[in-house]
Amino acid sequence: MARAPAAIRWSAVASALVLLLLIKPSTSIYCDEDDCYDLLGVSQSANSSEIKKAYYKLSLKHHPDKNPDPESKKLFVKIANAYEILKDEATRGQYDYAIAHPEEVFFNTARYYHAYYGHKTDTRAVLVGLLLVLSAFQYLNQWTRYNQALDMVRKSPAYKNRLRALELERSGGMISKKKNQKHMDKNTEEDLSKELDLQIKGAEKPSIWQLLGVRFILLPYTIGKVCWLWRYQVKRSPYSWEDASYLTRRSLGIHLDSWRSLDESTQEDLIQKRLWEKSNLESYLAEMRKESKRRR
């Protein structure tokens, strides 16, 4: 088998060295560059009682109130951090695993951050934050696509012709032929373009109703609407009393309190008329207008 060229071999060696420099050992995320056991002066086989005893002894020695030396203060912080890791069986087990498997950098790092920060973060807050970030990116992306499409359309001959036709319409068919006509066109182009309703397929103007965050908030309504369509439009099931009452109230524009004030027979009569259908509603309103005129 042919050997790889020297340039490729040296490039591979250099890349490996860079990775080693950039990616710290997974144990360093616990006690920085120190060994947690060495900081407390105990062996890896020490039990919880020995670890606790060593911590109290060292904390008394290096506590800022008893030892004003700045270096001693830094050491006290390290000792306290090491004790927080080793006093808990779960985190100690993770640290021991990281020592035994230093090559599993990403796995050990993920376990560390999950153990120390996962329980401190409200899942609901994470979800809301994620939706906000995604919605912001989505909105900016839609605006970028829309503006790019708009620029392309404005450069097309068809758009310029529509703009010219609108200018003719506004001027009553009379367009000045002054020398500065081009300059005038540029000045008025923005005003005229506002009157043109440009519908660009595939790059519509952004709408907040299409954002992920808004759609997630409206998810219960969307699910309810789908269930409604499935029940009454697809399966053709008869409307329940509650749904028929809602449709009747909405058709007549009656408030819920006003609807409840009607007697049950009147409600039943209105529901039987199926006023949510346009033809039935028009006939009912016409009948009410005739009745009102007759009473006058």
Q: What is the CATH number of the domain that holds 47?
A: 1.10.287.110
What's the rounded Cα separation, in Å, for the pair 171 and 150? 25
User: Is there a domain that residue 24 lies in?
Assistant: no
Tell me, yes or no, whether 127 and 102 share the same domain: no
Tell me, yes or no, whether 136 and 195 share the same domain: yes
Tell me, yes or no, whether 130 and 88 share the same domain: no
Tell me, yes or no, whether 127 and 112 share the same domain: no
pLDDT (0 to 100) of residue 182: 45
User: Is there a domain that residue 268 lies in?
Assistant: yes
pLDDT (0 to 100) of residue 56: 92
Tell me, yes or no, whether 81 and 102 share the same domain: yes
Contacts of 140 (CB under 8 A, 6+ apart): none
Tell me, yes or no, whether 129 and 201 share the same domain: yes
User: Is there a domain that residue 280 lies in?
Assistant: yes
Cα distances (Å, whole numbers) of residue 47 to 51, 53, 88, 176: 6, 10, 11, 96
Tell me, yes or no, whether 106 and 128 share the same domain: no
**Residue range(s) defining the domain that contains residue 76:** 36-117
User: Is there a domain that residue 19 lies in?
Assistant: no
What's the rounded Cα separation, in Å, for the pair 271 and 246? 10
What's the rounded Cα separation, in Å, for the pair 22 and 24? 6
What's the rounded Cα separation, in Å, for the pair 235 and 221? 20
Tell me, yes or no, whether 46 and 86 share the same domain: yes
What's the rounded Cα separation, in Å, for the pair 60 and 80? 11
When divided into structural domains, the chain yields a total of 3
What's the rounded Cα separation, in Å, for the pair 93 and 108? 11
DSSP annotation of 35: -
Residue 105 and residue 27 in contact, taking contact as beta carbons nearer than 8 Å: no
Here the tokens at position 177 are 């032929």
User: Is there a domain that residue 27 lies in?
Assistant: no
pLDDT in tens, the chain (296 residues): 444 445 445 455 454 444 444 444 556 778 888 899 999 999 999 999 999 999 999 988 888 888 888 888 889 999 999 999 899 898 899 889 988 888 887 787 877 777 666 555 566 777 788 888 888 888 888 888 888 887 887 777 877 777 777 777 776 655 554 444 444 455 556 656 665 555 555 566 778 877 888 888 888 878 887 888 888 888 888 888 888 898 998 888 888 888 888 888 899 999 999 988 889 999 988 888 888 877 76
pLDDT (0 to 100) of residue 80: 92
CA angle 129–135–141, rounded 5-degree value: 140
